[in-house]
Amino acid sequence: MSVIEEVATILDRAAHDCHEVDQFPAGHFTLAQAYEIQRASIARRIERGERMKGVKLGFTSRAKMIQMGVDSLIWGLLTDGMIEEDGGLVDLARYVHPRVEPEVCFVTRRAIDAPLTSLEAVDYLEAVAPALEIIDSRYRNFKFDLENVVADNCSSAGLVVGPWSRRFDGLANAGVRVQFDGRDVQVGTTAAILGHPLRAVVQASRLLHGAGMTLPAGSLIMAGGATAAEALRAAAYVECHVGSGRGALGRVAFTTR
């Protein structure tokens, strides 16, 4: 078996059965192979009936880079099997050691098949929403280096998307607040995401182009965590507000059990 298939099988099984595995030793695979492993593990999910839903970016904010000790932009693939309902109940038994982070999610209006500029990006988008990403590294103690986290599909596990709107103007420097049971656990701003969350769309378009992939219309693009991630615990009401006042993007929430 190739290293791609070997690692993809181990990581897919860990995600599917909710157990931790050791990081692979440095040099076990290259960064380019890590992206191949990511695709091979997604292929297994597709074989089980899941559908491609879009892409996510990782380490688009300093807060995330510092928390995890990785300072390169990364990207992963999203499937419908990862979607949790806004306002719903999230069963932590589906996860290994989940954390939550505040994000902004876009849905595309046109297929993205070429690198876009910031000016063009909005034309390709249908809507934007406040979102919460539930990340869940399959590696022991949530510890990894760049190659390992990419192979593990950038810790992708769950996502909760709030109400869609076309308030792209309100995105530049909107306050971001994550609360557990009404108490702030993380606060930040959307400006922490590459200076402006629309830059995440630009970056996604470049990365997709580099990988020879087209993102179909109707796909999600998760822009990356604006603050450090927070460990989830059972029986918590988790809420995220993005923006305030009339231009606010709104809120998204779930309860854990």
From the list 11, 18, 157, 183, the residue with the least C-alpha distance to 77 is: 157
Question: Does 54 participate in binding Mg ion (rule CB under 5 A)?
Answer: no
Strands 99-108 and 230-231: antiparallel
Which residue from 29, 59, 180, 254 is in contact with ligand OOG, where contact means CB under 6 A? 59
Question: Does 54 participate in binding ligand OOG (rule CB under 6 A)?
Answer: no
Question: Does 139 participate in binding ligand OOG (rule CB under 6 A)?
Answer: no
Question: Does 132 participate in binding ligand OOG (rule CB under 6 A)?
Answer: no
Q: Report the partner that residue 68 touches, choosing among ligand OOG, Mg ion, none (CB closer than 5 to 8 A by kind).
A: ligand OOG
Question: Does 68 participate in binding ligand OOG (rule CB under 6 A)?
Answer: yes
Contact code string over 23-52 relative to ligand OOG, x by CB under 6 A: ------------------------------
Q: Which is nearer to ligand OOG, 1 or 67 (CB)?
A: 67
For 5, list phi and psi in degrees, rounded to 5.
Answer: -65, -40
Q: Which is nearer to ligand OOG, 125 or 149 (CB)?
A: 149
At residue 11's C-alpha, the angle toward residues 9 and 17, to 5°, is 95
> Is 243 within 8 Å of 210 (Cβ atoms)?
no
From the list 158, 159, 170, the residue with the least C-alpha distance to 250 is: 170
CB of 155 to ligand OOG, least distance (A): 3
Q: DSSP assignment of 180-202, as one string?
A: ETTEEEEEEEGGGTTTSTHHHHH
Q: Report the partner that residue 131 touches, choosing among ligand OOG, Mg ion, none (CB closer than 5 to 8 A by kind).
A: none
Q: Which is nearer to Mg ion, 4 or 107 (CB)?
A: 107
Q: Report the partner that residue 59 touches, choosing among ligand OOG, Mg ion, none (CB closer than 5 to 8 A by kind).
A: ligand OOG
From the list 3, 55, 64, the residue with the least C-alpha distance to 29 is: 3
Tell me the number of residues near Mg ion by CB under 5 A: 2
From the list 244, 245, 249, 247, the residue with the least C-alpha distance to 223 is: 249
Question: Does 64 participate in binding ligand OOG (rule CB under 6 A)?
Answer: yes
Task: Tell me the C-alpha distance between 243 and 223, whole Å.
Answer: 16
From the list 237, 226, 216, 200, the residue with the least C-alpha distance to 108 is: 216
Q: Which is nearer to ligand OOG, 130 or 225 (CB)?
A: 225
In the range 172-211, which residues lie near ligand OOG by CB under 6 A? Answer: none
- Cβ contacts of residue 23 below 8 Å, gap of 6+? 139, 140, 143, 144, 145, 148
Element (H, E) at 66: helix 62-68
In the range 206-235, which residues lie near Mg ion by CB under 5 A? Answer: 225
Question: Does 124 participate in binding ligand OOG (rule CB under 6 A)?
Answer: no
In the range 109-138, which residues lie near Mg ion by CB under 5 A? Answer: 133
Contacts with ligand OOG by CB under 6 A lie at 58-59, 64, 68, 101, 133, 135, 137, 149, 154-155, 224-225
